A and B are shown apart, each in its own frame.
Chain A
Amino acid sequence: MTATAEPLFQGADWDFLTLQRIHDACEGIARSELGLDVYPNQIEVITAEQMLDAYSSVGMPLFYKHWSFGKHFAFHEASYRKGLMGLAYEIVINSSPCISYLMEENTATMQALVIAHAAFGHNHFFKNNYLFKQWTDANGILDYLEFAKTYVAQCEERQGRLAVEQTLDAAHALMSHGIDRYPGKKKLDLGAEEKRAGRRRLHEEAAFNDLWRTVPTGPAKSDAMLNVERRRKLLGLPQENLLYFLEKTAPRLQPWQRELLRIVRHIAQYFYPQSQTKVMNEGTATYVHYRIMKRLHEQGRISDGNFLEFLQSHTNVVFQPDFDDPRFSGFNPYALGFAMMQDIERIVSNPDDEDREWFPEIAGNGDVMGILRGIWANYRDESFIGQYLSPRLMRHFRMFHLHDDPEERAGVKVDAIHDERGYRRVRRELAKQYDVGFIDANIEVVDVDLAGDRRLMLRHAVVKGAQLNEADARRVLQHLADLWSYDVSLVEVDAADKVLKEYVANPRAIAAVA
């Protein structure tokens, strides 16, 4: 490619026309070369203070009022002022149009980087990844937030600030357990139901065999058993979405409290895909900005000097410190994601024997963008790493797996390293680190004592001996009991059904409960 085009900008200064030019140039490459499919873009230029504002309300442009956001703001502000923390260059919101916030103090090069990264990389990922498609409604989210904000404000007017605050506190405490992890069964309409019944009947007729009649059934179920089963079915138990369960069945909540729980639950659900796709999302965006910026430079639309500036911040972003480095705090999702995307590009276009053995489906396929777009659409972090982390990359990062068993007095065992014997184990363990099934405690509502004191019974299935932090668990259960307004108990049981610990919480008199 020869340098034919005019540079998009000179030096570090930019104005809105520059942003427009950058956006159009990026769009051309994103569409024609990378084949990205994005929501319309909306770019908003903001100040550092507004960025801090956005931080404290989880990046959302409008949010209901609550003291905890004030606390986060105060915390971020303090660390920002002390220089402990830099601010992000951008925040991008999964909505349609896709809103990207750009900091005003970015240089022109940084704005180009950020536009390529957020307005095309993240944007494409939001629009195409199956998790986002399944769980979020990009068109509706801003309206929903607006509704939530007004609703909470109205509630405060009618019910008093304190009552609303108590309910929201309780709901926030349960937020991580207010998520549906599986899409619900679709209700069939009458026509479909009839068709299915007809098909079943046909099948029964076709496969009729009188012998089945003589097969003995198990012992008849006692009335008590049937009762329990009926009750559990009625309440939809077991239920792991605690907020949903409370919203639908808590006996003494006011309608507005149920609505508040619903709002918190919906917002938690909205962020659920993001927490499962950090590596992929950042990897995609970083890969896209890298490709776009490189192409712009090749076309001569970004000068060499500006390109060097880009490379410098790009390198900072994808820097992965070693485990013994003081800067280390886990895997950098940008570094891991970007490395994996580049590795896939290499495997698809220029594989070696090892790649052919490990990735027979994609090695040497040739269609880099086709393969990548397919991966971006159909995977989340856990499955992505579990399938596409190559031995070469494990060697590159020099990954190793530690197994820390408190029973083992001698110390922490190195279970696997980046060698032939260890590749699969390392990869499996790393994938597990990104599995939401393992990240959140597995707590579910198992029963309600409907005949007795209406006690709500929860069960925490302890995995690998990791029990709940006692102080926090008591506080959360207190909130739960306040909402349920009768006693709540939680048992922690291990895989062998042995009870490890039991908590009971009694409801406090909450201002809002009539």
Chain B
Amino acid sequence: MIMHIIDRRLNPGSKSLENRQRFLRRAKALVRGAVKKSSQDRDIKDVLEGGEVSIPLDGMNEPRFRREGGTRDMVLPGNKKFVEGDILPRSGEKSGGKPRDPGEGDSEDAFRFVLSRDEFVDLFLDDLELPDLAKRKLAEAESEGVQRAGYATSGSPANISISRTASRALARRVALRRPRLAAIEKLESELAECNEARRAELIAELEALKAKARRIPYIDPIDIRYRRFETVPKPVAQAVMFCLMDVSGSMSEHMKDLAKRFYMLLYVFLKRRYRHVEIVFIRHTDRAEEVDEETFFHGPASGGTLVSSALQAMHDIVRSRFRPADWNIYAAQASDGDNSISDGEVAGRLLTDMILPVSQFFAYLEVGEAGGYTFDMPDSALWTLYERLRAGGAPLSMRKVSERSEIFPVFHDLFHRRGKQEKTAP
């Protein structure tokens, strides 16, 4: 008998991807909750790694008629010492009880499964939105792209759409009944082997056909169509993220850790929205410098605190490397709120005049010591300053954080999708 062997290994995988997506869509609310919960006790670095979540089965169950209770009879293997008529106590260890099948009924109250990295991040950032996603002054953007915009009757020869032209020509030829080449050939071959009487008739017919074919050209200039292109302004698809941090002596490791977590989240978030994201780390004491990530978070530094130095540095970098027309600029500043009194005026002016006009978003995160309650952190010098600027209409977002677990809620709060009004709540 014939036997076939088929190698299915090369078939496209993920045949059940579609089913999986349906399942996720159905369980979306539950899974989103689980993702939030599981991300709280994860390291931010691992947030992106996907992984296992567990959701309650409620709402995802597939009910069947099941029976329970009543008198049960069962036959089991492995009798060692029982004889007929023995009574086995039921309590505790059920010596004769049949264990329930896994996956049966309500015994399983949570359902664990693995999410891929993309699924995880999608759900993680699902209800967040970037404020001012498009560049405010889009008109100024010089980058333009072209896109197809139908067909035109004129254009450069390189843009001739052959298929469109050919189909129009065909339609015209059919409509005007242009004699087909095959018909002419047939007549000619007939002409070659026919008698005299028929010959004259055939010649006349042939001439008529040929004349008609000449009158109706195969391709007429009116058939020709060109592909049309339009130029459209291209939205800026790159972003730069400025991380500003006070590294003076008053910032503890805990505070830096809080700031780091916030930056990470912001990075993950921007990464989802923009094709290209650059990060600039600026740390400052009483003077500011641009550093790499390692130094930013771990490098030792000490000195006084001048916030304006960092703002100045950011402004310089923006001017030299990131043209506001080409880049979406985001900035997040973390500090414990110390600033020298005399600096307030300078910092305020820099912010309102130079930085805020070019930025999409500027967030200020005031970090506090662990265990301190955010609501009784006294308003610091910087907080007071920014508060005043905000009251004056500057688009600033500010939050206070002192616990690791507050980072995500605060982040979520800042970017939460809400109608038009934003940046109003402190």
B197 vs chain A, min Cβ distance (A): 63
Contact status A329-B101, CB under 8 Å: yes
Contact status B84-A419, CB under 8 Å: yes
Q: Does B88 belong to the interface (CB within 8 Å)?
A: yes
Contact status B106-A471, CB under 8 Å: yes
Cα–Cα distance between A185 and B187 once the two chains are bound (Å): 70
- Among the listed B8, B24, B71, which residue makes an inter-chain contact with A406, where contact means beta carbons less than 8 Å apart? B71
Contact status B9-A412, CB under 8 Å: no
Q: Does A441 belong to the interface (CB within 8 Å)?
A: yes
Contact status B73-A27, CB under 8 Å: no
Contacts A70-B16, A419-B84, A441-B67 given; does A323 touch B76 at CB 8 Å: yes
Chain B, 306-328, CB within 8 A of any chain A CB: none
Cα–Cα distance between A422 and B83 once the two chains are bound (Å): 10
- In the complex, the chain B residue whose C-beta lies closest to that of A460 is B65
- Among the listed B11, B14, B26, B73, which residue makes an inter-chain contact with A415, where contact means beta carbons less than 8 Å apart? B73
- Among the listed B20, B68, B101, B106, which residue makes an inter-chain contact with A466, where contact means beta carbons less than 8 Å apart? B68
User: Count of chain B residues with Cβ under 8 Å from any Cβ of A?
Assistant: 67
Contact status A75-B73, CB under 8 Å: no
User: Count of chain A residues with Cβ under 8 Å from any Cβ of B?
Assistant: 101
- Among the listed A169, A399, A406, which residue makes an inter-chain contact with B69, where contact means beta carbons less than 8 Å apart? A406
A-B contact count (CB 8 A): 267
A500 vs chain B, min Cβ distance (A): 11
Q: Does A322 belong to the interface (CB within 8 Å)?
A: yes
Q: Does A325 belong to the interface (CB within 8 Å)?
A: yes
Chain B, 57-80, CB within 8 A of any chain A CB: 60-80
Chain B residues with Cβ under 8 A from A414's Cβ?
Answer: 82-88
Main secondary structure on A side of the interface with B:
mixed
B186 vs chain A, min Cβ distance (A): 46
Chain B residues with Cβ under 8 A from A403's Cβ?
Answer: 71-73
- Among the listed B6, B25, B86, B113, which residue makes an inter-chain contact with A43, where contact means beta carbons less than 8 Å apart? B6
Contact status A81-B71, CB under 8 Å: no
Cα–Cα distance between A465 and B71 once the two chains are bound (Å): 6
Stretch of B37-45, B89-97, B171-179, B381-389 contacting A (4+ beta carbons < 8 Å): B89-97
Contact status B113-A467, CB under 8 Å: no
Cα–Cα distance between A238 and B82 once the two chains are bound (Å): 45
Cα–Cα distance between A86 and B87 once the two chains are bound (Å): 38
Contact status B78-A177, CB under 8 Å: no
Contacts A173-B62, A414-B85 given; does A16 touch B77 at CB 8 Å: no
Chain A, 72-90, CB within 8 A of any chain B CB: 73-75, 77-78, 81
Chain B positions within 8 Å of A, measured between CB atoms, are 1-9, 11, 13-16, 18-27, 52, 60-80, 82-90, 95-96, 98-99, 101, 103, 105-106, 111-114
21 A–B pairs (Cβ distance < 8 Å), ordered by A: A40-B3, A46-B9, A56-B16, A57-B16, A70-B18, A70-B23, A70-B24, A97-B4, A176-B65, A322-B78, A399-B79, A402-B73, A413-B87, A414-B86, A417-B83, A443-B65, A466-B68, A466-B69, A467-B70, A475-B63, A476-B65
Q: Which 6 A-B pairs have the closest CB atoms?
A: A322-B78, A70-B23, A466-B70, A465-B70, A70-B19, A74-B113
